[in-house]
Structure formats: structure tokens, C-alpha cells
Amino acid sequence: MKPREHDLIIIGAGPGGYVAALRAAQLGLDVGCVEKEAALGGTCLRIGCIPSKALLESTELFHKAKEKMAEHGIRLPQVEFDLAVMMRRKERSVDSLTKGLDTLFKRKGVTRYFGHGRIDAADRVVFRNEEGETELKARNILIATGSKPAGLPGVEMDGERIGTSTEALRYSEVPAHLVVIGAGAVGLELGSVWRRLGARVTVLEYLDRILPEMDGALAAEALKTFRKQGLEFRLKSRVQAARVEDGHCVIECDGSEPLSCDRVLVAVGRVPNTEGLGIEELGIKTDPRDRIQVDDRFRTTVAGNFAIGDVIRGPMLAHKAQEEGIACVEHLATGYGHVNYDAIPNVVYTQPEIAAVGKTEEELKEARIDFRRGIFPFRANGRAHTLGQTEGMIKVLAHAETDRILGVHVLGPQAAETIAEASTAIAFGASSEDLARSCHAHPTLSEALREAALAVAGRAIHI
């Protein structure tokens, strides 16, 4: 039987893959997408970003109802939570969105193939499922297989007591004591979820700080806030081993007594998901971190083969993969596509939220770039006071000579939304004066961004 042919075959239907497929179809390409999971959406939608945010929202509402309503003059009877209902709500969100992607594929004319894809030749993909192997042909192949949680030497993950974020998103009961290995976004978000529901949460971090990719000053302030919320931190803790003994977990760290707990969440980062793709046999080169090497048009070292998202260089973020997917297929269809890597935001969805775009102070100092900073605290923002969320600040970093915005860093309420304006400003090459001269509605949280921009030149009004 002659293989089905497409203009483009995409392996992986996560944020990068499915967005690339939909954009390519818009541009008139005949697109096939191979995905091994029954549901579209990848890690982000099925077992990552979306379910974690659903649980963060549910547990934050519980926390507010239990601890904060009295401040607003709202008296509630005893507040309780139903974990099973929370989990079902989370799954409904995921189910609705994955079905929505199925509908979009059909509407846009993207052909979906269910199975594990492997590149068999520069123009051929074979996918395997329960029915056997099927061969497809295409002029172009795009690898968008994402990443998977990284392991840690000496840590024996059993997928139950000791596991990754996948397991931590579906605990059937609240652990009495949860140990989180890694103080990055995943560890802090899921640690916050289970702390709000009553777990004792201990975070172990190898470095002397949390959130190593974020601005140092904001990370230090966030650490103080998380400690007030009841999270325990042991910084400069190198985990040597973790195992299950008699139904409990035992963690061994350098220079301290073994730690006993009910569950362990390993959140030490992610690694490219390229196993079984056939890239080595084909001659697609990778770097020392097993990321696929690509040029500025996402071309691999084999003609007609491309890669985007977590399998290539750069931050492992869903929206970064989406931007790359769009740029890659636009290159194919029109000859032009672009990603501004200086304008890609990064968000931690704790309470308060932490968001950043552009360079940190540490990066600018290392690059010996002269800059000015403007800082504005949320305690001086009217809207933050009405929300009862005055912790945190906004920091704007601008070039000392040109005043062009180089970085914006937010610790505070709805930081994930505020950072969008900063990303747009950087994308358009705005100066801090541009932001400072833009009228913002009052009272809003976004006024704090304007004030921070004013502060770059020492002109903040409300401090």
C-alpha cells in the first residue's frame, strides 16, 4: 500500500506541535500530526500547566475562604474541602481543552495519527500503535516531542511515594509531610497546592537560593513570603539518595540527618524527550545536553527535518514552543518567520505570582551592560490595597544610555497578566519613558508598572 503523503508531518501534539499544525494548515499546507497519547495537548495540557493551575486556583480559593474572608467582613461557617471534587474539576478542564483541540484539527484539516512516531528516513515517518506500523511520507518533518521530568542519581522513583509532578497532580489524599526536591517553578507551585490543603511541605534546594532563573532580589523576597505561608526551605542541600522504607520515604542529604516523609516530589528540571525518534540513526546532531541542534530557521543537520520547543535550546516553556512552531512553519510557507527571545515571559503561579521578561540584573552585570533600575512596591498601589495583596514589587531595568527596556520583573498580584504589557513593550523596543508616559487606568495593578518605569528616572509619584 502506498504511504500517505503530506507537505508536513509533525511528531508531537503538545503546545509547539499542535500550534505549528494549525498555523501550517492556515497557510495551506497538507499537515499530518503524529501523537502517541490518546488526548492532544502534550504534557502542558494533560499533566502539567493546565491541571496544576486548576489545582492552584481551587486551593487558593479554599485558603481565602478559610483565612481571608473575615478581613472583608464575610463570616463563613467551618470551611472544608473535598479533594476528589477538586481533582474532578481539574480533569474536566483538561478534558474540555483536549476535545477542543480535536475539534480544531478537524476544522482546520489537520490529519491526526495515533501512535509513537519514528523518523525512518529524511522524508519518512513510521508510527506504531496496537494495529502495527504505518508509514507516512512528507517533504518536511517537524520534531515537537517536548520534554520529560529529569531524574536524580540515587533517588529511586517508584511512581507512587516518590515521583514527579505527574504523580503530585493526582494524590488521592493530602500527604502529612511532602518533601519537594527542587525550588523551581514546578516544586514551588505544587508545594503551595499541598501546603494550602494542610500538608507539611519541606523544599530541598541544592543552590543557596530559590528560582535560579529569576531576578535575585525578587527571588529573595519571594522566599520570605513562602516561609510566612508555612513552606519550609533547606537551601544548599544536596540530595544523595531517596527511597521507600516500610511505607515511608527516606531522604539522605549532605551534612544532615536522614529526612522521613510520606511523599517525595522530584522537581529538578526536565530533559528533551527524544527517545525512540530515530534521530541518531538519521544523523540529526544533538548538543552535550541532548538537545537537537538547529539553526535560526529551526533546521536540524538533516535537510527537511526541523525541531522546536523543549527538544532544542532555550527555556522549556509552552509559549516559547508555540512561538517557535509558528515561526518554523511560516519559514516553510512564506520564507519568513521570527521569534524575539528577549520578549518571552516566564511566570511562577504561586501566591503572589512571580513573572519576568528580558534580562535580570545579574545577567546585565555579567554582560557589563550599564543600566538603571526603577522599583515600585505594591504596598503603594491602590488596587493592591483593595485586593488585600500588597506584598511584592515591580522592577524595570533600562539601558543607561538609550533608556530601552531590558528587563521587567514582577512579584505580586496577577503578575502573569501584568508581564504581558512589559513583553509587548520590549517587543516594540520601548523605553522606560514610553511606559512612564502611557496613561494607565486608576485604580489598577498595572499602574505599578508605570510607576516603576517612572522610578527609572527618579520620577515615581506615589513613593
Catalytic residues, by residue number, are: 442
CA gap 172, 195 in Å, rounded: 15
User: How many CA atoms within 13 Å lie on the side-chain side of 241?
Assistant: 7
Strands (E), 296-441: 305-307, 346-348, 353-358, 371-377, 393-399, 405-412
| Closest listed residue to residue 210, CA positions, set 179, 188, 225 | 188
Residue reference for cell 528560582:
211
| Closest listed residue to residue 294, CA positions, set 263, 254, 264, 331 | 331
CA gap 297, 437 in Å, rounded: 37
Residue reference for cell 537551601:
235
Determine the number of helices (DSSP H) and then strands (DSSP E) in the chain: 14, 22
Contacts of 425 (CB under 8 A, 6+ apart): 405, 408, 434, 435
Q: Is 73 exposed, middle or buried (0-12, 13-18, 19+ CB in 10 A)?
A: exposed
Cell output for 75: 463570616
User: How many CA atoms within 13 Å lie on the side-chain side of 240?
Assistant: 8
Q: Do the bridges between strand 132-143 and strand 305-307 make them parallel or antiparallel, or are there none, so unpaired?
A: parallel
Encode 98-161 in three state secondary structure: HHHHHHHHHHHCCEEEECEEEEEECCEEEEEECCEEEEEEEEEEEECCCEEECCCCCECCCCCC
